[in-house]
Amino acid sequence: MSERGDASSAPTLTAPASGSAADTIALLRSLIREACVNDGSVASGQEIRSVRVLQRFLAEAVATGRVETHVLESAPGRASLVARLRGTAPDAPSLGLLGHLDVVPVDPDGWTRNPFGGDLIDGEIWGRGAVDMLYLTAAFACVLRDAALAPEPPRGDLVLLAVADEEGGGEYGIHWLVRQHPEAVRVTEALSESGGMRMGRHVAIEVAEKGSAGRRLIIHGKPGHASIPYGAKSASYRVGEVLQRLGEVMPAAQLGPLWNAFVGARIQDPALAERLRDPVRLDAALPHLGGIAGYAHAVSRITMSPTVLRAGMTHNVIPAMGTIDLDIRTLPGTTDAEVDRLLRAVLGPLADDIEIEHLRGWAATASPSDTPLFAAIERAVEAVADAPVVPIMAAGGSDARVLRELGIPAYGFGLLGPEWSYERYREGVHGNDERIDVESVTLSLEALQRIVADRLR
């Protein structure tokens, strides 16, 4: 069954797209309707449904004999699709297009439309995953299909990695694929999500992601019966002291080239830009940044956020021990030892009798922005949107880091319409009434087609 032409026959379409853009939009709507909701449990997601949709979409491309596909299932229903369009030159790059198929859950009460309807209304496609990241996954598939149907095969491989479980951390998706099927996912460079927002007149492309180095603080007290508290030292009080300290003492800003690039692209006022480039005056300037202040705060330092607190088992026993879990987000290059040192410095005199336990995490990753792929992105964005590119660091993590860890340059791509500020993008991702406009899908597709031609022709 072909997906082609579906969008142009929809009665609600007001901003018509044609050709590959119409096909991408139809595919996006189909993927939204599959509702591959990942709640973090193994049984959720069931990405096999969207894999089937992609297989139908790519049937014509596969029939050319140039595209090899693998459906790889890490657990029942947790399928990823790898489609490799073979290039002719062994020394040419292999470009990976890494898109996930799963989406985060919704609170239907917060939505004005069916979150899994894939409605196309007034030039916008509605539904969970429209922005994160099914519009790109659909565009990736469309670009691969078009390249396979072109008269000449590409010089290098073009590889669609449509994966499960990004929203659950990738254990049933990219991590499993890299471990179990390294030959299937082998690429030399890659594009994924988290790019394309506007920063000033620039288009942001993600080149780095912060890491996670969670810690559990174990805090001891002196227990007793709660009916006679005299002489006891409740661990609950000590947890409170430590929390207060964590609220007052913050790790200092650490500014690098990506920070300077962000300030240069986004901040028009030269006096404000100067303050932001000074680690001492930076924090006092943050309130002037409006909706981007949180992002600016996060990417300019290692952050430490207390999340889970535990102390006490029973109402009438003064607790001997309490714990504080800290979500700590690191910068590229931060070592585990540095995190512990910094944490002890933040805790100051309280650190002495606190044990620090390491929780699971991952290192921050960064790809250089002087690669041929990055240059191809710059040329494509310039040609399609007449805008320069600014490399940015994301505060959160995505599947792209798994490729970066293997030494593969990977960039968070996208080319959204001019009114898509970083703030709007953040609101759209995982929020209520998630939707994307036809213009952004079309711009992204056009830029992708240019990048593929640039790298592989």
| Residue 143 binds Zn ion, judged by CB under 5 A | no
**Rg of the Cα atoms in the chain:** 24
DSSP states of 437-449:
EHHHHHHHHHHHH
Binding residue for Zn ion, selected from 23, 132, 146, 439, defined by CB under 5 A: 132
**In this structure, what are the phi and psi dihedrals at residue 312, rounded to the nearest 5 degrees?**
80, 145
Q: Which of 277, 327, 353, 42 is nearest to 169 (CA)?
A: 42
Whether residue 365 contacts residue 332, with contact meaning beta carbons closer than 8 Å, is answered with yes
Residue 13 or 104 having the CB closest to Zn ion? 104
DSSP states of 43-58:
TS--THHHHHHHHHHT
Residue 249-268 contact track with Zn ion, rule CB under 5 A, x = bound: --------------------
Q: Which range binds Zn ion by CB under 5 A, 125-133, 274-282, 309-317, 412-420?
A: 125-133
The distance of closest approach from Cβ of residue 166 to Zn ion in the complex, given in angstroms and rounded to an integer, is 5
Q: Which of 289, 307, 309 is nearest to 299 (CA)?
A: 289
Residue 177 or 263 having the CB closest to Zn ion? 177
Per the DSSP assignment, residues forming a β-bridge with 305 are 327
Looking only at residues 322 through 381 of this chain, which bind Zn ion when binding is defined by CB under 5 A? none
- Using DSSP's 3-state secondary structure scheme, residue 35 falls into coil
Residue 47 or 132 having the CB closest to Zn ion? 132
The distance of closest approach from Cβ of residue 200 to Zn ion in the complex, given in angstroms and rounded to an integer, is 24
Residue 213-252 contact track with Zn ion, rule CB under 5 A, x = bound: ----------------------------------------
Q: Which range binds Zn ion by CB under 5 A, 118-126, 133-141, 201-209, 356-364?
A: 133-141
Q: Which range binds Zn ion by CB under 5 A, 124-132, 243-251, 329-337, 375-383?
A: 124-132
> DSSP letter at 130?
I
The distance of closest approach from Cβ of residue 212 to Zn ion in the complex, given in angstroms and rounded to an integer, is 16
Strands, E assignment, 90-157 = 95-100, 120-121, 124-126
Q: 133: cis peptide before it, omega within 30°?
A: yes
In the chain, DSSP finds a helix count (H) and a strand count (E) of 15, 19
The distance of closest approach from Cβ of residue 355 to Zn ion in the complex, given in angstroms and rounded to an integer, is 36
Q: Which range binds Zn ion by CB under 5 A, 66-74, 128-136, 259-267, 439-447?
A: 128-136
Binding residue for Zn ion, selected from 61, 106, 133, 158, defined by CB under 5 A: 133
Residue 203 and residue 140: Cα distance in Å, rounded?
Answer: 19
Q: Which of 63, 89, 80, 77 is nearest to 185 (CA)?
A: 80
Per the document, the length of the chain is 457
The distance of closest approach from Cβ of residue 90 to Zn ion in the complex, given in angstroms and rounded to an integer, is 33
The distance of closest approach from Cβ of residue 131 to Zn ion in the complex, given in angstroms and rounded to an integer, is 9
Looking only at residues 184 through 203 of this chain, which bind Zn ion when binding is defined by CB under 5 A? 193
Residue 146 or 193 having the CB closest to Zn ion? 193
Q: Which range binds Zn ion by CB under 5 A, 47-55, 131-139, 296-304, 372-380?
A: 131-139
For residue 413, the surrounding DSSP H or E stretch is: none
Residue 127 or 154 having the CB closest to Zn ion? 127
Q: Which range binds Zn ion by CB under 5 A, 126-134, 247-255, 322-330, 361-369?
A: 126-134
The distance of closest approach from Cβ of residue 206 to Zn ion in the complex, given in angstroms and rounded to an integer, is 11
Residue 132 or 446 having the CB closest to Zn ion? 132
The distance of closest approach from Cβ of residue 99 to Zn ion in the complex, given in angstroms and rounded to an integer, is 9
Residue 307 and residue 321: Cα distance in Å, rounded?
Answer: 17
Whether residue 414 contacts residue 136, with contact meaning beta carbons closer than 8 Å, is answered with yes
The distance of closest approach from Cβ of residue 445 to Zn ion in the complex, given in angstroms and rounded to an integer, is 18
Distances from the Cα of 267 to the Cαs of 75, 120, 196, 277, 323, in angstroms? Answer: 47, 35, 18, 11, 41
Amino acid letter, residue 420: W
Distances from the Cα of 239 to the Cαs of 319, 324, 352, 359, in angstroms? Answer: 11, 7, 14, 18
The distance of closest approach from Cβ of residue 168 to Zn ion in the complex, given in angstroms and rounded to an integer, is 11
Could you tell me the two tokens for 210?
A: 């912060």
Q: Which of 326, 211, 303 is nearest to 251 (CA)?
A: 303
# residues near Zn ion by CB under 5 A: 3
Residue 85 or 136 having the CB closest to Zn ion? 136
The distance of closest approach from Cβ of residue 102 to Zn ion in the complex, given in angstroms and rounded to an integer, is 9
Contact set with Zn ion (CB under 5 A): 132-133, 193
